[in-house]
Structure 1
Amino acid sequence: MKIILTNDAPAAHWGKADVTFEQGQAYIHLQAGDHLRQVQQAARKLRSQGLSQVALCGEHWELHTQWAFAQGFATAKGAGEIQWTGDESMQKLLTDRLASASFARQQINETPENLAPVTLASQSAKWLAEIGGDKVSYRIIEGEELLQQKWIGIHAVGRGSERPPAMLELDYNPLGEDAPVSVALVGKGITFDSGGYSIKASEGMLGMKCDMGGAATVTAALGLAIKSGLNKRVKLFLCCAENLISGHAYKLGDILTYKNGVSVEVVNTDAEGRLVLADGLQAASETGAPLIIDAATLTGAALMAVGTNYNAIFSPSSELLARTQAKAASVAERVWPLPLDPWHKEMCPSPYADTANSRPVKGGGAGGASNAAGFLWHFVSPDAQWLHVDLAAAFADSANGLWAAGATTHGVLTVAALLED
């Protein structure tokens, strides 16, 4: 079906409808307000009516409106078939975006049984290698080898599962062997989060296949940037584990001493994402990259603060926060900075260790998202600029007016834009 974007009001018999039909064509009627939001809502309505193949036609479609349509049109069962409009370069960009977003969406929506930690690492590496060719090299560290390499956070969180935890170390290097690393990416890859002994209720556990959304986001962003001709060296670290309960699982009261010497008391096994990211951030710091970006579905506190249409961002650098907001706006995504001060590093105290992984109160207490970011700060090199993205907008538990149920991939374009900067 042809989809036409128009500024004209619908015919009188359609009343205030924002989508109308005439002679086998659908018309999206733009009104005053946020046009991208209106287009995405219209796409949801059209897909909900059973459409799976559309052609965007007419003069009013541009890059952002076409992408908004694609985001509303996608479902967990597939992105649908969209025929783009515009010049060749715009159509290629949209095609590349959709391929990268579809990869992330498929990973995030996959069943936890089918996406074990090593599987997540392997799939991500192979997809990037297909895009980057011989410019991509990688290794996967799994199981007991993590302890040998002193990646104790990933090992501790994942040891309760029969399926081993893993860290993916991937190097995209188009410049040559000794080129400096420009950016290091870190993704939280918890393929399923039961909460461990701090077990979640069923309704809170149901959507926890999405807890590897950070890993999918940074992987898809790197893939998109490579497709766009990225000409800088980037290293990627995915911290992959299942957080399950067993006789081997880590426990409340355990103390983990990290590679950098920081000791951490476990006061909540459901605050596991920051424990695995601590390893990834140390690995990223070891690269000497001047910019480190991590992405994670980390805290419910971020979701409460910014809602489901924004991702929360944190950084000690006000310049980096401003740049991230500008880059997000340039690709029509939404981010919002939340507080991060040096004293946030001390907001999870422990009488037994240098710090705890949370506060022993529901949801981590007041300022939980900032406290989590403060915890992560312990593991970041002081020589690097660091951006932490708490992906509040990465997953919809149920369908709504903007998104189908499941992965949204909101955040992929922002990270890609920062890589291409």
Structure 2
Amino acid sequence: MLACFLPPDTTEAAVPVHAIAAADLAGTLDALGPAARAWAGVAGFEAKAGTHLLLPDEDGRLAGVLFGLGKPDGARTDMLLGKLAGVLPPGAYRLATFEGDLDLALTAFALGAYRFERYVAPKETWPRLVLPSEADVLAILRTAAAVHGVRDLVNTPANDLGTAELAAAVHALAAAHGAEIEEIVGDHLLAANYPLVHAVGAASARPPRLVTFTWGDPAAPKVTLVGKGVVFDTGGLNIKPDASMLLMKKDMGGAANVLGLARMVMEAGLSVRLRVVVPIVENSISGNAFRPGDVYRSRKGLTVEIGNTDAEGRLILADALAFADEEAPEVLVDMATLTGAARVALGPDLPPVYTRDDDFAAELAAASAAVADPCWRLPLWPPYDDMLKSKIADVNHISGGSYAGSITAALFLGRFVEKARTWLHADIFAWTPSAKPASPEGGEAQVIRALYAVLAARYGRR
């Protein structure tokens, strides 16, 4: 049980919370009595979206809470309840009034309650919400724990989360679910035919590696997840300016999100044969760093000209995707904090996704709306593929100009996927720059709740 929840059968007295739209305020105050109406009037409470009011009893103790859902404007209000976790005083509460998706609202409360306290003295008190018996408690706890785990990994700085430590997190998840795991480290990557992973990570004192595990019935549909695990990105020889380097601890956000999604799949027992592939490197600078203009032969056999060493993520994903594609999975998903162009196009909260499968795209769009986990499909626009031409190799890994950077990155990755029935690439930010009701500032899980909903609907539980 998460610290922000109490079980449905708790005997602890809980303060009622009334989450109401502005139109329902008058009726709620009538039911609560003249004292509550007078107090709300004095406080000027109008049930605007995200506002709250503590209601005292005759002795000045907390008797109830009003939480505003605002006026109907077509926007989802379920996720607003995440704000309650940060504004309520410590104590026990129960949701007395709410009209909406109860499970999603409770999930939002759990996501809003997240705290990253690894380097500070942890707070010992929480506002705790009683889980209603009609809620899908296991699904809520499973989702919240996975998102919290993603955020913990992304928020951990690179001095404590290097290539070995991220690999250890993959091992721990695999061991917890009895998965079969393999890890290839350092120069062994060359013998195992992962030349691009090795090239990107060779300059770091912390050896590059690739970790993969499999779980589930080998005869079940194959679902493969690939996550970019760059534990820190200096930009390499094309070094980043200081402002661009500040958040580069989060450049392993794709790996963190893939691990979160894998955790949800395994804990729910979906009927799939799951493979997880995580290439892990630190993009550093030293005498053996890969250089602009170098040419490497990839695992797939395509020769790749290096256009810019700060576009390292797509290189390690190329080898990882080529490996994953060899098994011809039914679904192949890769997730990566790949391009600044994606943020320019859609901002930090709306990750672009790319796929050639219209049916899968439609399922994901519907799931995204249903669970309030936003993403937006952008096109794998074939004419832009010419931007990746090289005069000396099969392909350059970046385009020659400043246009369509997220699309051309996706097109580059698409060259390494041929056998998978469905491939989807998610260009995520993995970070919340300013706090929102269910998203504290910092590391973030993006698209994995929507992807899980699609996989659960397709494959169900064993």
**Considering the TM-score relative to the shorter chain, is it more than 0.5?**
yes
Question: Relative to 1, partners in 2 of residues 1:39 and 1:416: Cα closer, same or farther, differing over 3 Å?
Answer: closer
- 1:171 shift after superposition: 0.1
Single out whichever of 94-103 and 83-92 deviates more from structure 2.
Answer: 83-92
**Counterpart residue number, 2:144:** 98
What is the letter of the counterpart of residue 166 of structure 2? L
SS in 2 for 1:160: coil
| Deviation (angstroms), 1:67 | 1.8
| TM-fit CA distance, 1:236 | 0.7
Structure 1 residue 53 displacement after superposition: 5.9
On the 8 A contact 1:37/1:68 being kept in 2, the answer is no
**Aligned residue among 14, 36, 43 for 1:14:** 43
Q: SS of 1:236's equivalent?
A: strand
Match of 1:411 in 2: 447
The CA RMSD over aligned residues, in Å, is: 2.4
Bigger CA drift: 78-87 or 68-77?
Answer: 78-87
Correspondence list, 1:182-221, <5 A: 182-221=222-261
AA of the residue aligned to 1:258: S
Aligned equivalents of 1:212 and 1:127: distance in 2? Answer: 16
Alignment correspondent of 1:260: 300
Partners in 1 of 2:296 and 2:195 — Cα distance?
Answer: 7
Match of 2:432 in 1: 396
For residue 57 of structure 1, the aligned residue among 92, 95, 106 is: 95
Assess if the C-alpha contact under 8 Å between 2:283 and 2:312 holds in 1. yes
Which among 163, 170, 175 is matched to residue 206 of structure 2? 163
Q: What is the letter of the counterpart of residue 31 of structure 1?
A: G
Matches within 5 A, 1:107-186: 107-130=153-176, 132-133=177-178, 136-173=179-216, 175=217, 178-179=218-219, 181-186=221-226
Q: Which residue of 2 aligns with 1:296?
A: 336
Which structure would you say has the larger Rg?
Answer: 2
- Tell me whether 75-84 or 337-346 shows the greater mean CA deviation: 75-84
SS at match of 2:388: coil
Of 85, 106, 115, 2:131 maps to: 85
Matched AA of 1:147: L
8 A Cα contact 1:84 1:91, kept in partner: no
User: What is the alpha-carbon distance in structure 1 between the residues aligned to residue 75 and residue 355 of structure 2?
Assistant: 28
Aligned 8 A contact 1:172 1:234 in 2: yes
Q: Which moved more, 1:380-389 or 1:239-248?
A: 380-389
Q: Distance in 2 between matches of 1:90 and 1:84?
A: 13
| Secondary structure of 2:67's aligned partner | strand
TM-score (norm 1): 0.90
1:252-279 Cα distance to aligned partner (Å, 9 max, x none): 1111111221111111111111001101
User: Equivalents in 2 of 1:26, 1:326: separation in Å?
Assistant: 33
- Pairing 1:281–2:321 present: yes
Choose from 19, 23, 27 the match for 1:5: 19
Q: Check whether the contact 1:278–1:376 (CA below 8 A) recurs between aligned residues.
A: yes
Equivalent residues of 2:318, 2:413 under 8 A apart: yes
1:116, distance to aligned residue in structure 2 (A): 1.1
- Distance across 1 between alignment mates of 2:239 and 2:88: 39
| Range with greater deviation from structure 2 (346-355 or 274-283) | 346-355
Q: Deviations over 1:272-327 (max 9, x none)?
A: 11001101111110122121111111111111212222221101222221121122
Deviating more after overlay: 324-333 vs 400-409: 400-409
* SS of equivalent to 2:280: strand
- Opposite residue 392 of structure 2, the aligned amino acid is Y
Distance 1:155 1:53 in 2: 52
SS state at 1:344 partner: helix
Q: Relative to 1, partners in 2 of residues 1:352 and 1:129: Cα closer, same or farther, differing over 3 Å?
A: same
Partners of 2:90 and 2:421 in 1: how far apart? 45
Does the residue aligned with 2:304 lie in a helix, a strand or coil?
A: strand
- In 2, distance between residues paired with 1:90 and 1:301? 38
CA contact (8 A) 2:78 2:104 kept: no
Gaps of 5+ in 2: 1-13, 30-39, 57-61
Is the CA contact (8 Å cut-off) linking 2:230 and 2:282 kept in structure 1?
yes
Separation in structure 2 between the aligned mates of residue 97 and residue 82 of structure 1, nearest angstrom: 17
In the alignment, the residues of structure 2 paired with residue 395 and residue 59 of structure 1 have an alpha-carbon distance, to the nearest angstrom, of 32
Match of 1:384 in 2: 421
Q: Secondary structure at the match of 1:196?
A: coil
Cα pair distance change 1:402/1:89, threshold 3 Å: closer
Distance (Å, rounded) in 1 between the aligned partners of 2:270 and 2:373 = 21
Deviations 1:230-251 (A, max 9, x none): 1210111011111111112111
The answer (yes or no) to whether the contact 2:237–2:291 under 8 Å persists in 1 is: yes
Q: Distance in 1 between matches of 2:170 and 2:19?
A: 36
**Aligned in 2, Cα 1:115/1:68: closer, same or farther, shift over 3 Å?**
same
**Residue 347 of structure 1 aligns to a residue in which SS?**
helix
What residue identity is the alignment partner of 1:380? V
Aligned residue identity for 2:416: F
What SS does the corresponding residue of 1:119 show, helix, strand or coil?
Answer: helix
Change in Cα spacing, 1:90 to 1:401, as seen in structure 2 (3 Å) is: closer
